[in-house]
Amino acid sequence: MKRYLTTADVAVALNAGAVVATSADAAVVSLATANVNIRAGPSTQYPVIIVLPQGANVVTYGCLAGYTWCDVGFAGRRGAGSSRPISVSSMGAERGF
């Protein structure tokens, strides 16, 4: 039986490093600029729980210090994705982490 992660599971996994902007108030809509594996934790050692398709809008809740991994939500699931293919609109300007 597959086990899906809860928000608490992801928070524990991301707590391994300093997290930037973790409150729901700080969540922003982001764009996947390529297909992105969303994992159960912030490392390629964690299993993939969903793949974001290129062009998908996702919610970014926060990122590890250094913006290597971000806590994202998509299609009712939440996990950690590499920040490189995730672009956030900030004051009208797109930027990748």
Please give the share of the chain, as a percent, with pLDDT higher than 70: 63
pLDDT at 26: 63
Q: What are phi and psi of 62, to 5 degrees?
A: 165, 170
User: Does residue 35 lie in a domain region?
Assistant: yes
User: Does residue 94 lie in a domain region?
Assistant: no
pLDDT at 93: 40
User: Does residue 95 lie in a domain region?
Assistant: no
- Round to whole Å and give the CA distance between 19 and 58: 18
pLDDT at 89: 56
User: Does residue 97 lie in a domain region?
Assistant: no
pLDDT at 27: 81
**Total number of domains in the chain:** 1
Reported confidence tier of residue 25, pLDDT bands at 50, 70, 90: low
**Mean pLDDT to the nearest integer, 32-60:** 94
For residue 46, what is the domain's CATH number? Answer: 2.30.30.40
User: Does residue 96 lie in a domain region?
Assistant: no
Q: How many C-beta atoms surround the C-beta of residue 97 within 10 A? A: 19
27/47: higher pLDDT: 47
Domain with 22 in it: 7-87
